[in-house]
Amino acid sequence: MKRVVCPGSFDPITFGHLDIIKRASSIFDEIVIAVLVNQTKQKLFTVDERIEMIGEVTAQYKNVKVASWSGLLVDYCKANDISMIVKGLRAVTDFDYELQMSQINLQLQGVETLFMSTAPAHSFLSSSLVKEIASYGGDVSSYIPEPILKRLKARLAANSAGNNLN
Site residues for ligand PNS per CB under 6 A: 7-9, 36, 72-73, 101, 104
Closest CB 6 distance from ligand PNS, rounded Å: 9
Kindly name the residue from 26, 41, 62, 142 that is annotated as catalytic: 41
Residue 35 phi/psi, 5-degree rounding, is -85, 110
Nearer to ligand PNS, 9 or 118 (CB): 9
Marked catalytic residue, from 17, 50, 122, 131:
17
DSSP secondary structure, 115-145, as one string: EEEPPGGGTT--HHHHHHHHHTT---TTTS-
For the question of residue 127 being annotated catalytic, the response is yes
Cβ proximity to ligand PNS: between 91 and 158 the closer is 91
151 is catalytic: no
Is 17 annotated as catalytic? yes
Torsion angle, CA of 61/29/144/154, rounded to 10 degrees?
70
**Which class for 116: exposed (0-12), middle (13-18), buried (19 or more C-beta within 10 A)?**
middle
Which residue, 112 or 158, is less far from ligand PNS as judged by CB?
A: 112
**What is the spatial distance between Cα 84 and Cα 99, in angstroms, rounded to a whole number?**
14
- Catalytic entry in 50, 87, 90, 131: 90
Task: Say which amino acid occupies 84.
Answer: M
In whole angstroms, the minimum distance from the beta carbon of 74 to ligand PNS comes to 6
Active site residue 122: no
Q: Kindly list the catalytic residues.
A: 17, 41, 90, 127
